[in-house]
A and B are shown apart, each in its own frame.
Chain A
């Protein structure tokens, strides 16, 4: 049986407490994952200096070069996974087995992770706004004619990871090039990606002491967030809400991402149908950057009808089918609960499911797998309980709002793809505190520029600028 150990500053540790992660089809144990007790994590984190020193022994340029090499190792090489070796194809199959994600989607996410590592210099340039990265080595320097100095806010970055989509791992990878060691808690059914990324980076020359990998429970996750000076937390709204007032922790909760059609273009909505479909369905609809809403000022029902017809063409396929777009649920009960929530919302007046007449039941079982088929709901009002919901499958509400209600009516939104030429609306969106990422024009919500900050700027999360002056030595 394949076993994934804890990594304590790079050193494998086999726990007595083992989580058995099942194959989503057979429900039989597919991999055993050592679980760290919270006390062990806290004890390890008493010393965060030595991992940091191991990274600061390198220049940023050297770490960037390692990251670039790691990109290729991650994508193409055979790397350790526990006591065994893992080819790229093994990784794809293994990740798919425990999460249900189709191989084609795993490969797309794999490519996304590779891209961030390969383009790490561009990513860092975007995050630091073109800072000469040698300044990070010296701690001070001159940028655009001004003396600047940056200091790390933390000795390590603790990250509580999800299981929904490997693409999120792109977000913490730049930490190593910024000389901040990583303390990772993998998602319970997706231990694969962070482990493989770490192995690729280690093979590329990054000191293994810079990596701690702790599969653990809620208590262990809490210990990571408490003891690391900076953290990232991926989770549902209820989980991340506990840390809403903790500025040390960057929260990545529910996205509620949306495509917005301005009043000036909404009569031409058919031109943007592909953007809407891509925003809702790519990556199996499992990402926080998938659109869960299409907000329009008119034609809502027609748009919902057209989306329903298009989405109903997406059907369950085998995990290794290159046409597969839907991921089954690793836990069928979760699918049933989600479908129940949608049904409960539809029982309220003012919302109608548009997809049912095209594809029949939402919850289906096929070849021993449980799927939720893409679902489009038309909501007459943004007050409806389904108007602003996000689920772990391709689901979107088409909502009609008054032009002047945008963006306030949107609520907190991770990505807005605003298709409009209305400068007034654009100005309101740009000024809005509710909008995190903003795409102006026909850009699917899923299109991410990795040189752009995502739910906070990682560089600013890890580093702070101090006032700095240096006297010229007296002659």
Chain B
């Protein structure tokens, strides 16, 4: 189980279990559940609504298979209780064949509004405009960052970026073309930044942030806060970004994906030596670190294992999904009294078969 610290942690555990019961009731009630889960339940010899009482009981579902998310019909994922709402479909990067797709209605807005609460106003001023320097197209990031900007009273400027094309260029060995594409993206960003003085905040992937900072000074461009994510970040990159790229701007690294939402970074303290520590948006989603050979078993604090995600919202129920990442299990902290993860990186056993996007 996910360990929680102290009295506050115990309260959270009770809230989590209550949330689990509420979500299971919603997704497996014939009036409100999605066709996928209702059909899934028919094949079980037990009733989730009766037998799932705690977070730990979710183990009874086994592991969520990402293959279920590849291909259609995508409407089987829309809960009947939300059937009259406008539906978005978001896709993962698509670096491993047919992309996984996930429906969304309000989740991306809720996730980013919660994330917004973690951003310091001093560096991400309300009313400031944003630059979204990340993947566009069928990914939720583009809309999510735009909503984040709007939620904070700003407007989001965007560029086009197709990470699947970048992956193809790498696979073909077209590194020069890849660099030209990157330059094309960065040139657009520089043009926007120079033309719009009210842009003070931005989202960028690590590599695009580096590339942008080779061309311009964030300080001179008036950027005071950077929200960074989308691909792996190492502690060395974190340090490099803070010491050399930010020039005093706030650096907010995040971990997330279309399936889970957004995990926020533990505020920087020197003792962490730039380790990147994330905490999930409990109780909407949980990140756990499990033994790769026995993924029902959570590893000890500080131990390395495979990242396991669980998403529990009214729009999406995803118990026990084994992500293609590994990390160390991190102790709860004062701000986030539940388990976190440290230094997430590609799962070493899968590394040879995955081309990470360089966007």
Contact = CB atoms under 8 A, between A and B. Distances in A.
B179 A16 contact: no
B173 interface: yes
A222 B176 CA distance: 10
Contact of B273 (A16, A39, A43, A226): A16
Nearest to A36: B236
A17 B236 contact: yes
Interface string A324-357: 0000000000000000000000000000000000
B234 interface: yes
A15 B236 CA distance: 7
A242 B174 CA distance: 9
A16 B244 contact: no
Contacts of B206: 39
A184 B67 CA distance: 45
Given A37-B240, A40-B240, A43-B214, A17 B175 contact: no
A17 B214 contact: no
Interface of B: 173, 175-176, 179, 206-207, 210-211, 213-214, 234-237, 239-240, 244-245, 273-274
A169 to B, nearest CB: 26
Interface of A: 15-17, 35, 37-40, 42-43, 46, 222, 226, 242, 246
Given A226-B179, A242-B173, A16 B213 contact: no
Contacts of B179: 226
Name the 7 nearest CB pairs between A and B, nearest first.
A39-B210, A17-B236, A16-B236, A16-B235, A37-B236, A242-B173, A40-B240
Contact of A39 (B175, B176, B235, B240): B240
Contact of B239 (A16, A35, A38): A16
Contacts, number: 42
B173 A17 contact: no
B273 A40 contact: no
A38 B179 CA distance: 14
27 contacts: A15-B236, A16-B234, A16-B235, A16-B236, A16-B239, A16-B273, A16-B274, A17-B236, A35-B236, A37-B234, A37-B237, A38-B210, A39-B207, A39-B210, A39-B237, A39-B240, A39-B245, A40-B236, A40-B240, A40-B244, A42-B211, A43-B214, A43-B240, A43-B244, A46-B214, A226-B179, A246-B176
B175 A42 contact: no
Given A16-B235, A37-B236, A39-B210, A222 B175 contact: yes
A42 B212 CA distance: 11
B210 A42 contact: yes
B213 A43 contact: yes
Nearest to B273: A16
Contacts of B176: 226, 246
Contacts of B210: 38-39, 42-43
Nearest to A39: B210
A38 B206 CA distance: 11
Contacts of A16: 234-236, 239, 273-274
A15 B237 CA distance: 10
B213 A17 contact: no
A226 B274 contact: no
Contacts of B173: 242
A246 B174 CA distance: 12
Contacts of B175: 222, 226, 242
B234 A17 contact: yes
Contacts of A42: 210-211, 214
Nearest to A222: B175
A83 to B, nearest CB: 19
A48 B88 CA distance: 48
A42 B239 CA distance: 16
A242 B214 CA distance: 25
A448 B206 CA distance: 46
Contacts of B244: 40, 43
Contacts of B211: 42
